[in-house]
Amino acid sequence: MKKVVWVVLVLATLGWGAAAHAELGTIDDVPAATLLLPYFEVDLANPNGVTTLFSINNASATAVLTHVTFWSDLAVPTLAFNVYLTGYDVVTINVRDIFVNGNAPRTASAGQDPSNTISPKGPLSQDINFASCTGQLPLPPLPASYLAHIQAAHTGKPSAFFGGLCSGQALGDNIARGYVTVDTVNNCTLRFPGDIGYFVSGGAGDATNQNVLWGDVCYVNPGQNFASRGTLVHIEAFPGTGVSGGQPTSPLTTNPGNYTFYGRVLPAPFLADDNREPLATNFATRFLNGGVFTGGTSLLVWRDPKTKQGPFTCPAVPGVRPPWFPLGQEGVVIFDEQEHPVVPIVFPFAPQPPVATIIPFPAATQRVKVGGPALPVPFNFGWLYLNLNTTVAGSPNPPVDPAAAQGWVTTVDDASGRFSLGYPAIQLDSATSVKHFVP
């Protein structure tokens, strides 16, 4: 009897039972078709400086193919490659390995790895051949020209790959910044998510609607002797009405005009061909500056510029280029622990005018110190109400609610030189049902 119980527990642990699904519009830590690393940073000059590690995990026995895309902090795609996973596989990527050493993750399906040494499989895992990956996997080291390109593109400098144009902010600290998306795909592809054929509704393009991925992220700073860890953002695909292949579905992610995660980059904007649920627009989170947390609180904030952004004339200039930069918001409220509010002046449009008292989250992704110049607070302890909705002038705002603007907020509390904690802010709504409200 004990043996039977043990086997049942093992099978349940491996997921051989009812699949876990989130509800549409609630971003939960369940297997998904897309993973979002909302912010990464890597010190290009200091090997003991900050870097970011993230994992791609396969929650199913079935082998899957994924497509990894790096985006600049101003939402320009800069680099993409494919990663193969056998059943129950995990691949960990240190961004420094790519940006400094030029080493992309080496994986290969059965057809490119007949000896089963590059992507070995376990006894419970499938290993199959993706013929489309021949010549693409396993990935070789990045050529020097690619290395120069991504280093320039993610530090606000001109890139030869972009014809001397820029794609990010030039902050002058030699730290590469941006975000990453990971999608399940049917085949090895060299396309970006915004290219024709990458998304076709129902998962019929390069991208699939397989909700099987999960992942985590670690921000490591060896020189300051601390690190923080959290989960990636898990974005499910809902491919239609009713139920498809055991997956919950919804017209909210299939009907043209609705807000979906990749809506801004689709060849026909907000056509909903990606079938991905959008993120939240309103958030709540604590901040601490004192006691054990001598390093204070920082926010890692990802935002949707709601327009497909390409390279632009150097440098980035607020209010000029990109045209949506800096992003505004409908409201920020700063509370102390006795509920006393402070409401800075903000404007629900982009770009923000010079008279705005704070412009805390201007880019597509950023790290912002609570109590710093971008987000001053009059209290050492309290919480923030963040309504990140905004209307971007001249862009194809989602027709169902033009003022809606999805985002993501991660809170990091630091005890300087000792430890660091990272966790997601509380979601107060979803871009499928937006709250245009400020206390």
Maximum CA extent, the chain = 72
Q: What is the pLDDT of residue 327?
A: 95
* Cα distance between residue 208 and residue 211, in whole Å: 9
Task: Convert 10-39 to b/e letters by CB count within 10 Å (16 or more is b).
Answer: eeeeeeeeeeebbebbebebbbbbbbbbbb
Q: What is the pLDDT of residue 249?
A: 55
Q: What is the pLDDT of residue 261?
A: 98
Q: What is the pLDDT of residue 351?
A: 79
Tell me if 182 sits within 8 A of 35, measured CB to CB: yes
Q: What is the pLDDT of residue 21?
A: 57
Residue 324: closest CA among 313, 309, 339: 309
φ and ψ of 147, to 5 deg = -60, -45
For 379, residues 6+ apart whose C-beta sits below 8 A from its C-beta are 334, 335, 336, 337, 340
State pLDDT tens for residues 117-159: 999 999 999 999 999 999 999 999 999 999 999 999 999 999 9
Tell me if 24 sits within 8 A of 432, measured CB to CB: yes
Low-confidence ranges of the chain (pLDDT < 70): 1-22, 25, 240-249, 352, 354-356, 417
